[in-house]
Structure 1
Amino acid sequence: MTRSLSLVESATGAQVAARSLGLVAEPADLDDLMDGSGAGPLECEISWAGPVDLPLSDERAVQAACGIMHVHGRAAGRPAPLAVDYASAAAGVLAAQGILAAWIARSRGVRVTSVRTSVSQAALLVLAQYLGAATADDDWREPTVPGSSTFVSADGVRFEFETLDPQRWLRFWTRLGADPAAAKRGWRPFQERFATATCPLPPELHETVRRTSFTTVRAAADGAGASVLPVREDPGPPAPARPWTLAPFPDQGSSGLPGQRKSAEAGPVSDRPLAGIRVIESTRRVQGPMAGHILWMLGADVVRIEPPGGDPMRGIPPIAGGCSARFSALNAGKSVTEADITTAEGRRTVHELVSGADVFLHNWAPGKAAQLRLDADDLRRTRPGLIYAWASGWGDSLGSSSPLGTDFLVQAHSGLAAALRPADEPPAPSLMTLTDVLGGLVCAQGVLAALLARIRTGHGGRVDSSLYSAATVLPRPARRAEWTALDRPLRTEDGYLALGREARERPEHLAAATGLGACAGITEITSQLRNLPTAFWSRRLAEAGLTATEVCADLRQLARDPRFSRALSVGEHVFPLAPWEFS
């Protein structure tokens, strides 16, 4: 299937897609099985801009134009690039998903010869929650005060702290002797950092930690029932890992998928290759809902199981059309069944839903499925051939006593927190939810691989993925990047510019283009750029043959920009459109 990667502008995207597809079994009879329609080879294109009408030619330009620099930089109070090819890696996973979905569609008699996606569409998709919140049709506005949730102990240990319980939060700070009022004020920005990408904690809390050894901090966290992990300084992943694993069930169930047929005449092209496939989803927050969202965008019928009264995340502002915009960004289009799965009646409801489904997806805490008697073995007895998918935090990588499996702890421990920042900045997780989103993408890809395997073998299976395994998808340098001021967005009179490669690496050309002598230093160049607007400098540099991209500083701008109109849907808030084109 890696032969399908035909036109690829992003080397990182191609690398990630090829590795992802390499995990999928490719038997000798694959062409006979999948290509009974005679549709010919399947090709995949990964471009930079896709339907975005901008001259984007590298990862840095995409991060600038599509808002990643803006969201990642909120905690620092200025736009900042990620020092890893995050959008390209996400595009690589999307490409692999598109290829798998196309093969599934072919097995059902649908004519598909090519799949197209782009790094820009990947960037917009990973920002779906932030776009939704920024463009909601109410008067609520996100807090944008800078702030970090990375702490430094008295003995110099940089660490991440995590709890999802306000009482444990207060117990932790009480054990450290922090000001109780500051601890109470700190809970809200700490809790909301997953949504806002910034965490303006009261300064007293950071000061308390700076007076305390890490040993004491860890003991306080253990006593409070919270989690603490040091931030690794090595940017490389700690060990090679598969993004997802598939364990086939021994019993044979369905011999294929709904509507599967082989014929000499393929049906018409469809942008919904998973139409007719039913997914039951019991998920919360980001990772699990994102996996279901991907399957829904590919055409699956997705049913959410929510507690009586609905998922509490539905009521979190900003509200758009009566529902949280953030929640809607990942769950719109899914149908809902309410059930208390902790009761016998609720579990019967789950079994009833699963009896007519192809996939069951959850991201429950470790051990909860077994406790509820809703594990893989329980549900596959109800539905032979079921694909059972668990999107976890750590998988089995840290054993039975693993800390909370949340985004920022995973970034800290996996080395991603070090890799995504240059060497002259201390390692710290991005407060943009990088592994949550990538974890959802990886889980969805595992489900697609399992559906394809079921077509070949008739066997269902269990798909396991985690935030930790998703973090290893991102290619990392062996050493942290070395940056100058030109590698960061440069201030203009009214905004920021992100320079292209030649302008960054040949400052003498940049100096000449800005009207300075070729010997002008970086400080002079950056000062000169502050004197005139972004639009002026964009034209001037383009005339000099240098690329530069205006940095999106407000996600609401994207909804109003006609150059993004073919990639975004504007309603009660902005939705990224499905990031694949099938033909």
Structure 2
Amino acid sequence: MASPATSQTVRPLDSLRLGISGPPQITTVAARHLRLLGAHDEPPGQQRAPGAVTLTGGGYDTAHATVGWGDPGAGLVDEATVQAATGVMAVHGRRDGSPRGLAADYAATATGVLAVQGLLAGLVGQARGTAAAPVTTSAARAGLLAVSQYLAAAGADEGEAAELAPGGPPFTSAEGVLFELETLDPGAWAAFWRALEAPADAMRAGWRPFQFRYATACAPFPQALHTVTRTHPLARIRQAAALSGAEVCVLHTLAERHAEADGAPPWTLRPYAADRPHPSSRAPSGRPALPAEALPLAGVTVLEAGRRIQAPLAAHLLGLLGAEVIRIEPPGGDPLRGMPPACSGISARWLALNRGKKAVEIDIKSEGDRRRLREMTGGADVFLHNWAPGKAAELGLDSDDLARVNPALVYAYTGGWADRIADAPMGTDFMVQARTGVGEAVRPEGESPAPSLMTLLDVLGGLHGAEAVLAGLLLRERTGRGARVDSSLLGAADTLTAPALGRAARGENPRLPAGFRHPLPTADGWIAPCDDSAPAAAAHDLRDLSTSDALARLGSHGLTATAVTTDLADLHHDPRFAGSISRDAHGAPAVSDPWSFA
């Protein structure tokens, strides 16, 4: 039975005890987030099953999560083998023309957040009448979720919107300074390059691959554009950006990020005032209990006004946990529904984030439609958006505005910078990667820093957004009041780079050794050794062996490795992920839920 609401609860996990065991790359992330939410460590000496994260006390039945690398027998034993098998290495390596591993523990980090989500969802479900059920997740599931948009595109009825070929930012100034460029406006793109006297044909040819680099994880624009920036000093490049409306961001090092890091949590939760009036509240006590076997968020209504990846993914995860998700789309519908490649006429990439959601068209520029949206929030549990900073307040749709309509509402904003960085550039995935040292963290020592063109922070930011919403819902169950929750791409970056920033804090080199997580070529593909086996495996020349023979040779020397997935379309039939990938009603590849409750 869940604890009664109490005005003394200020964090959702206050009075709960935390037990941890399992792979530290996963459980360290989960433990930090659970402690930030109020859980405190159980006394030492408690026995826990391997890979277990538990929460006890507070009047709840024990919440139990099992975490690991992959299914037994799949040969996935660590971060390197998971990245290789799930296609992360393939997508991240598109810019370079061959698979390469992320030097950061991306899949493990995402798994830690998924474990927290599962535990929070289970506690919310308990408070609403569902039975306590252990949750299981893994780094393999996290990896598949991370590539789900690319996987959907690989299985679509048509080709990609832009060429899949090596190339992409960052650019280099005349002084050798690496920088990212960002604009969503083709006019600003053209004006920037005209100001630098770039060839007109290169400028025109470069826009499409640059525009679609979010979708393709590569940007094979003409080499002439790189040549142009190398002829101009950074001051001139900044001037061109200011005149055109584009933005540039110099790549920061991990040492620079460590020097300015404020130690803030990856999200914030602000409960509404206890004395707020309740004209149309959906307070938890007013809802009927759910069947014990229901999904944790059954009966929860989420309104999502999301663009691109971050907010839509957060809402998608809430839908997988049982919530009804209603997308707020502009008149005519979300234009991204038509973004190629398509399955049955609908964007495969859009389906990966939005399948199963309902949609309502709202013109937020119209006062009448804004009034209609406010009325809709009166019957909702969550309102989630990622509009530009200040837009919600300008429209009269900020948390204070909607709390007057529904004081039990969980109002969630997934943004870029969380107002934590002075003079921050545009809050997009690649700009946040550039500004926070991710470009160094994902590449080992000896390689030029470069933000990944795989949308690392949009995906991890979406995971943080869903985590924050679940924390807000649990806090509401315990206090009877709604809350505002904020998450950001900056918070996601800090979560991902935490181990590297920790090395910087200890005076160590924050970057990992040269050659770290480089897969090895075979006669017909690539293999990736696990991190522990990599130094010894690199001593073997496997280029004349088939992938299967190369794996057998390493295995005969006691070394563990797995085949690297190079074509994401092959994942559908990969025995390492049996039953994990299906087809939706439109024929698009669909990744299974990242957790199971049983």
Alignment TM-score, normalising by the size of structure 1? 0.91
Instruction: Please say if residues 192 and 240 of structure 2, whose CA atoms lie closer than 8 Å, have aligned partners that are also in contact.
Output: yes
- Is residue 108 of structure 2 the alignment partner of residue 88 of structure 1? yes
* Corresponding letter in the other structure for 2:344: G
Counterpart of 1:25 in structure 2: which amino acid?
G
- 1:468 alignment partner, one of 486, 490, 496: 490
* Distance in 1, Cα, partners of 2:515 & 2:84: 16
- 1:122 Cα shift? 0.5
Alpha-carbon deviations, 1:286-341, whole Å to 9, x = none?
01101111111111000001011111101010001221000110000110001111
- For residues 426 and 161 of structure 2, the distance between their equivalents in structure 1, rounded to whole angstroms, comes to 30
Determine whether 1:153 maps to 2:201: no
Following superposition of structure 1 onto structure 2, how do residues 275-354 of structure 1 map, counting pairs within 5 Å?
275-354=298-377
Q: Distance in 2 between matches of 1:278 and 1:482?
A: 44
1:546 equivalent to 2:559? Answer yes
Is the CA contact 2:161–2:340 (under 8 Å) kept in the aligned structure 1?
no
- Secondary structure of the residue aligned to 1:342 is coil
Deviates more, 1:367-376 or 1:356-365: 367-376
Closer, same or farther: CA 487–447 of 1 in aligned 2, 3 Å = closer
User: Displacement of 1:216 after TM fit?
Assistant: 0.7
Pairing partner for 1:256 from 260, 263, 284: 284
Distance in 2 separating the partners of 1:291 and 1:482: 31
Describe the SS at the equivalent of 1:41. Answer: strand
In 1, Cα distance between equivalents of 2:573 and 2:161: 17
Q: Secondary structure at the match of 2:368?
A: helix
Cα 1:231–1:299 change in 2 (3 A) is: same
Aligned partner of 2:353: which letter? L
Q: 1:180 matched to which residue of 2?
A: 200
In structure 2, distance between residues paired with 1:288 and 1:153: 34
| 8 A contact 1:90–1:119 mirrored in 2 | yes
Take 1:562 and 1:393, find their aligned partners in 2: how far apart are those partners? Answer: 38
- Within the alignment, does 1:200 sit opposite 2:220 as a pair? yes
Q: Which residue of structure 1 lines up, in the alignment, with residue 292 of structure 2?
A: 268
Confirm or deny that 1:171 pairs with 2:171.
no
Alpha-carbon contact 2:304-2:383 (below 8 Å) kept: yes
Q: SS of the residue aligned with 1:529?
A: coil
Measure, in 1, the Cα distance between the counterparts of 2:17 and 2:142: 22
CA distance in 2, matches of 1:277, 1:258: 13
- Give me the whole-angstrom Cα distance separating, in 2, the residues matched to 1:504 and 1:110: 46
Q: Partner of 2:415 in structure 1?
A: 392
2:561 matched to 1:576? Answer: no
Moved more, 175-184 or 251-260: 251-260
Structure 2 residue 460 is the aligned partner of structure 1 residue 438: yes
Match of 1:515 in 2: none
Partner of 1:417: 439
- Say whether the 8 Å CA contact 1:144–1:198 is kept in structure 2: yes
Answering whether residue 65 of structure 2 is matched by residue 44 of structure 1, we say yes
**What residue identity is the alignment partner of 1:499?**
P
Q: Contact 2:306–2:387 (CA<8 Å) still a contact in 1?
A: yes
Residue 482 of structure 1 deviates from its aligned partner by 4.3
1:448 maps onto 2:448 in alignment = no
Note if contact 1:138-1:319 (Cα within 8 Å) is conserved in structure 2: yes
Paired residues of 1:4 and 1:43 also in contact (CA < 8 A): no
CA shift, 1:146, in A, is 0.2
* 221-230 or 87-96, larger mean C-alpha shift: 221-230
Residue in 1 that maps onto 2:232: 212
Aligned to 1:530: 543
**1:469-488 correspondence to structure 2 within 5 Å:** 469-474=491-496, 475-477=498-500, 478=503, 479-485=509-515, 487-488=517-518
| CA pair 214-459 structure 1, distance change in 2 beyond 3 A | same
CA change 1:31–1:85 in 2 (3 A) is closer
Shift of 1:352: 2.3
Deviations 1:36-65 (A, max 9, x none): xxxx42221111104x75111100000001
Hey, what's the Cα distance between the residues in 2 that align with 1:257 and 1:119? Answer: 37
Partner Cα distance (2:194, 2:365) in 1: 33
CA drift of 1:79 comes to 0.4
Identity of aligned residues (%): 46
Unaligned regions of 5+ residues in structure 1, if any?
A: 512-521
In the aligned structure 1, how far is the partner of 2:264 from the partner of 2:568? 34
Over residues 413-458 of structure 1, what are the superposed CA-to-partner deviations in whole Å (9 max), with x where a residue is unaligned? 1111111111110111000001111111101111100100001111
Q: Cα 1:548–1:385, aligned 2, differ >3 Å: closer, same or farther? A: same
TM-score scaled by length of structure 2: 0.88
The CA deviation at 1:183 is 0.8
Q: Distance in 1 between matches of 2:131 and 2:90?
A: 40
Amino acid at match of 1:561: D
Q: Is the 8 A contact 2:94 2:217 kept in 1?
A: yes
Q: Does the 8 Å CA contact 2:302/2:383 hold for their aligned counterparts?
A: yes
Instruction: Tell me the distance in 2 between the aligned counterparts of 1:337 and 1:87.
Output: 34
SS of 2:212's equivalent? Answer: helix
Which blocks of at least 5 consecutive residues in structure 2 are unaligned? 1-12, 42-54, 504-508
Please give the per-residue CA displacement for 1:154-181, whole angstroms capped at 9, x wherever unaligned: 0111000100000011111111111122
- C-alpha distance in 2, partners of 1:365/1:496? 42
- Which structure 1 residue ranges, 4+ long, deviate > 6 Å from structure 2? none
Go from structure 1 to structure 2 and tell me whether the alpha carbon gap of 1:49 and 1:3 turns closer, same or farther (over 3 Å shift). farther
Q: Where does residue 211 of structure 2 map in the other structure? A: 191
Quick one: structure 1 residues 169 and 103, their matched pair in 2 at CA, closer, same or farther if it must change by over 3 Å?
Answer: same
Deviation at 1:134, TM superposition (A): 0.7
Aligned: 1:247 with 2:270: yes
Task: Out of 438-447 and 483-492, give the one that drifted further.
Answer: 483-492
| CA RMSD in angstroms, aligned pairs only | 2.1
Shift of 1:398: 2.4
Q: 1:493 maps to what in 2?
A: 523
Partner secondary structure for residue 167 of structure 2: coil
Which amino acid is the alignment partner of residue 130 of structure 1? Y
Name the residue aligned to 1:556.
569
Provide the C-alpha distance between the structure 2 equivalents of 1:89 and 1:117, rounded to a whole number of angstroms. 12
2:158 equivalent to 1:143: no
Distance 2:434 2:418 in 1: 16
Q: 2:123 aligns with which of 103, 107, 114?
A: 103
1:196/1:140 Cα in 2 relative to 1: closer, same or farther (>3 Å)? closer
- Amino acid across the alignment from 1:119: A
* Matches of 1:27 and 1:549, distance apart in 2: 38
The 3 A distance-change label for structure 1 pair 183 and 139 is closer
Q: What is the Cα deviation at residue 6 of structure 1? A: 4.9
* SS of structure 2 residue aligned to 1:464: strand
SS of residue in 1 equivalent to 2:62: coil
CA drift at 1:31: 6.5
**1:232 match:** 252
Query: What letter matches 1:173 in structure 2?
Result: W
